Amino acid sequence: MINLILFGPPGVGKGTQSQILIEHFNLAYLATGDILRNSIANQTPLGIEAQKFMDRGELVPDKIVTGMIERRMNMFSDKNGIILDGFPRTIPQANSLDTMLKSRNDKLTAVMALVVPYDELVVRLLNRGKTSGRPDDAKMETIKNRIKIYHDKTEPLTRYYSEQDLFFAINGVGKVEEITHRLIENIESLLI
């Protein structure tokens, strides 16, 4: 099994690259942002609660996200593994993921971190806000808060996964195809 985390701040290109990687490696795609936005659009109780946090550019609480991911992981037995986008975002979530994978007699293959300069992230998010209709990408104040929260709460996972020799930094600047090539090359080197 190939179990990957695509890692990086908002706007780094995780969603774009995930779509390519799931096809290339026949992986299931678990994106917390997509799952949450779907819940919001359908006005589920989870969606209504999550909306409050997302409107402020804050992380949705671990308990909600972890339960949601665990339920979704059990739906994909026909795939070669999973790719996680937006999870884990905190050390407690990473510990929960380790437990979930272990209960399936599985483990994490790698954390592929896309690295993009701050100014480029802001431009990407503002552009995405104009074209995607995502309100969390349309306001500079919300964007800055999301990036700050990433650095404060999520970036500590860099050390967590580096200590396990699972963390790989990948240059996330360039054409989509160039970034994809870097990712696939790194992932395939781990499978040998």
3-state secondary structure of 41: helix
| Residue-level pLDDT at 159 | 95
Q: What is the mean pLDDT of the chain?
A: 90
Does position 61 have pLDDT exceeding 80, yes or no? yes
List C-alpha distances in Å: 56 to 20, 37, 59, 115, 135: 30, 15, 9, 25, 11
Span 79-86, mean pLDDT?
Answer: 92
- Higher pLDDT, residue 178 or 72: 178
Tens of pLDDT, residue by residue over 145-184, are 889 988 898 889 999 999 999 999 999 999 999 999 999 9
Tens of pLDDT, residue by residue over 116-141, are 999 999 999 998 888 887 777 888 88
Residue 93: which domain range?
Answer: 2-191
CATH of the domain at 15: 3.40.50.300
Contacts of 71 (CB under 8 A, 6+ apart): none
State the Cα–Cα distance between residues 38 and 43, nearest whole angstrom: 8
Percent of the chain, pLDDT > 70?
A: 100
Counting the structural domains of the chain, the total is: 1
